[in-house]
Amino acid sequence: MTSTYWESTQRKFWTFTKQQLALERKKIEEAERNLVNLYPLPDKRHLSIYFYHQLSKMARPLGIRQQALATAQVYVRRFYTKVEIRRTNPALVLATALYLACKMEECPQHIRMVLAEARHCWDTSFNDISKIGECEFTLISEMNSQLIIHHPYRSLAELQTHFQLTQEENALAWSIINDHYLTDLPLLLSPHEIAITAIFLAVVLKPTQGGLQVNAAGVANALQALGNARATNGQGTQNRVQKLVDWMAESNIDIECVVECTQELISLYEIWENYTDKACKEPIAKFVKARGLDK
């Protein structure tokens, strides 16, 4: 166990390059080529949105806090870098990930309550508590008992005063951090890089009228603002965006990581516009039923 990200198992074993992550997934697909061809699934980002919706439905009645929900999302993403999704019952995996995350985040839930919410949300037939116990063992095993997750929320809390974020900007940055769990970013970048990106986007997007909604066009404009600020190289009027960019340069923050993070979010928001639950629910139900994984 460690209290610092730099010495954590997250950094040592669960942070990849895009190429490494693609290779891991390719290995899984090649090993299960017949299943992959027999049961096509939608875009991984659509699946991530669907899983988030299902986790949220389970978490809300139980009063589970956001960080535990985020930890569950990371567990699910890690697990599916090791195990082909078509070999599992996602309803059971999500319920188990949420149950395990609550224990790790010190807000434990009774296993019967988690099971009841899972059955309600997924309309699933599995009702044996031992199933969650077995799946919990599998999750822990596939993650090599490396269960401590360092989240960007702490970095955001530490930096909000330094950057004099308004209450609205802080809320928007928090919302952007929530959204990044629907992408591969938790497996690609460090928590502080994600927090800094969220702060930058919150300052550029300037939440005022229209609430805290974020979309692809707005984030794309923020990316252009970042490029413009870098091009000025510190010259001209010192607005908040320029000050942020200057601070990143002085702090040795890799601005390319901020750009990469922003591009991933743009991609997410673009594909989210065409998302429907049905497009994910039906293909998942098909292979779960066909392979008897709901028993």
Q: What is the pLDDT of residues 29-81, one digit of tens each?
A: 999 999 999 999 999 999 999 999 999 999 999 999 999 999 999 999 999 99
Count the neighbouring beta carbons within 10 Å of the beta carbon of residue 153.
19
Ranking 17-21, 96-100, 197-201, 214-218 by mean pLDDT, the lowest is 214-218
Domain that holds residue 222: 152-272
Query: Does one domain contain both 113 and 213?
Result: no
* Among candidate residues 127, 149, 171, the one where a domain is terminated: 149
Query: Does one domain contain both 171 and 73?
Result: no
Q: Is residue 214 part of a domain?
A: yes
Q: Is residue 282 part of a domain?
A: no
**In the block, residue with structure tokens 């516009």:** 273
Query: Does one domain contain both 23 and 67?
Result: yes
**In the block, residue with structure tokens 């995996």:** 93
Query: Does one domain contain both 80 and 164?
Result: no
Query: Does one domain contain both 193 and 85?
Result: no
Ranking 162-171, 212-221, 255-264, 269-278 by mean pLDDT, the lowest is 212-221
CATH code: domain of residue 104: 1.10.472.10
pLDDT band at 108 (very low <50, low <70, confident <90, very high): very high
Residue 43 near residue 229, CB atoms below 8 Å: no
Phi, psi torsion values for 290, nearest 5 degrees: -60, -35
On the question of pLDDT at 239 being above 60, the answer is yes
pLDDT attached to residue 243: 80
Both structure tokens of 121: 């949300």
What percent of the chain stands above pLDDT 90?
Answer: 63
Both structure tokens of 280: 């994910």
Q: What is the average pLDDT across 90-97?
A: 94
* Among candidate residues 93, 128, 149, the one where a domain is terminated: 149
**Closest CA relative to residue 195, chosen from 167, 161, 155:** 155
Q: Is the dihedral of CA 284, 136, 35, 180 positive or negative?
A: positive
* Among candidate residues 99, 116, 149, the one where a domain is terminated: 149
Q: Is residue 286 part of a domain?
A: no
On the question of pLDDT at 102 being above 70, the answer is yes
Q: What is the pLDDT of residues 207-232, one digit of tens each?
A: 554 444 566 776 777 777 777 666 66
Q: Is residue 91 part of a domain?
A: yes
Q: Is residue 162 part of a domain?
A: yes
